[in-house]
Amino acid sequence: MPRATIARVTIALAILGGVVALIAVRQIGSVRLQIWQIMAGGALAMLVTARLTPAEALRAIDLDVMLFLFGMFVLARALEASGLLEDLAWRLFSRARSVDGLVVLMLFGAGAGSAVLMNDTLAIVGVPVAVALARAHRVRPRVTLLALAFAVTAGSVASPIGNPQNLLVALDGGAGNAFLTFARDLGVPALGALILSYIALRLAYPADFHGDALVHVRGGIRDRSLARLGGSALGLLCALIAARIALIVVDSPIDLRLTYIALAPAGLVLGLSRHRVGIVRGIDWPTLAFFAALFVVVGGVNATGVTEEVVARLGDRIASTPAVLAAGAVLSQVVSNVPFVALYLPALDAAGGSREALMALAAGSTLAGNLTLIGAASNVIVVDSAERRFGERVGFWEFTRIGAPLAFAQLALTWGWLTLT
């Protein structure tokens, strides 16, 4: 690698390392920093050090992702403000008679939901539910928040529409009937990953799993008009997702993009609600700012070619299941999982990658999200929203202390299953 290229890589990785370090401590002297502010500083550093030009930085921001998140934040805000989200949560979680049951329901409920509604969607709507349940039943909110984060990552593994990187793998074409292939090859690893998540939380927080019987109190709908509108928007979202699944199953050329699926319910809410201004004001703008800055930081790292260099150095091993899982676990922490998969797929195809390798790529890049706080966008949504809105903090090291061993166990399980099948 030329000396100038090494210098570019060093500076870009140093900026990324500084961002990760600050997210870990979230403090400079006596000044407390929020995650979005740290990432925005990293994006500014990429511009100041000329890793990216302003035009390149703008192009690095994925508008589809930004619009998808905006649409889901609008819907989530309407559901929460009306009281409908609280009512729906009561319908699901009132069945739990113990903390164990509550955590299991959260893990498997959010996990199943993320396989259909996409992991970021469940992360967005799940935070207020997770916090409210913990406070109502004498459990530290970090337990339910981590359960939510682990669940939406693990559950999304088994579906081609569970997360953006799985969708990239499915659209590559090598997986055949994507829904059947993902369910057959990754259904058991996803189920095992959810069970392992419960075990990890049970071992990490034994005092929170008290034996007292849970008493559930049903909250009332605060705004019936907004609740009806929010319910209709939620129904529209589910209908559009069902239509997308049907189009994929029949191999239709029609592309019902996730952006449209998210913006249609949001448009219904904003177009018909008299509270549209309050809803827009109340959505999670700092998290949107975080993602815009994240794309710039990742764009700066990608521009150095570091991922392509690592992929090239793998050589003949690029299509082996252990190499794919390992590369996904490590590089997803550096350039994020979606850009990693986008860069890895062409090299995998050129090497004649098997279906097993494609499934390993999907699983490895997804389960890498449990390794660290910045391993998945859904982690940031959960942790940042919980801290800013409810004052409930899950630290970088606390997440990693539980998530890293969990991720390695989940990846090992996936490796064993793919090898056997």
Residue 268's H or E segment, with its range, is: helix 258-272
Nearest to 167 by CA among 313, 358, 36, 20: 358
Distance CA 258, CA 274 (A): 26
Q: Computed from CA positions of residues 331, 334, 338, 340, in that sequence, does the dihedral angle turn out positive or negative?
A: negative
Copy the structure tokens of residue 71.
């649409």
Quick one: pLDDT at residue 26? Answer: 77
Whole-model pTM: value is 0.85
Report which secondary-structure segment, H or E, holds 16: helix 3-25
pLDDT at 154: 95
260 vs 199: CA distance, rounded Å: 38
Contact 120, 258 (CB under 8 A): no
Q: Which residues pair with 32 in a beta bridge?
A: 27
Residue-level pLDDT, tens digit, the chain, 421 residues: 555 567 777 888 888 888 888 887 777 877 888 888 998 999 999 999 877 889 999 998 888 878 888 998 899 899 889 999 888 888 888 888 999 999 999 999 999 989 887 888 889 889 999 999 999 999 999 999 999 999 999 999 998 888 888 887 887 766 667 788 888 999 999 999 999 999 999 999 999 998 888 888 887 788 999 999 999 999 999 899 888 888 877 778 887 887 888 899 999 999 999 999 999 998 888 888 988 898 888 888 878 777 677 667 766 677 788 888 988 888 887 767 777 787 787 777 777 777 888 899 999 999 998 998 888 888 988 998 999 889 999 988 899 999 999 999 999 999 999 988 7
Q: What DSSP assignment string belongs to 74-100?
A: HHHHHHHHHTHHHHHHHHHHTT--SHH
pLDDT of residue 173: 64
Helices (H), 96-177: 99-117, 119-136, 141-156, 164-171
**pLDDT at position 174:** 62
Instruction: Give the count of beta carbons closer than 10 Å to the beta carbon of residue 318.
Output: 19
Answer yes or no: are the C-beta atoms of 318 and 412 closer than 8 Å.
no
Question: Where are the chain's structural domains?
Answer: 3-420
Quick one: which of 367, 409, 372, 365 has its CA closest to 394? 372
Write down the pLDDT at residue 268: 95
Q: How far apart are CA 310 and CA 326, in angstroms?
A: 12
Q: What separation in angstroms does the CA of 227 have from each of 70, 79, 107, 186?
A: 19, 7, 26, 36
Best CA proximity match to 343, nearest among 319, 393, 308: 308
Output the pLDDT for position 398: 92
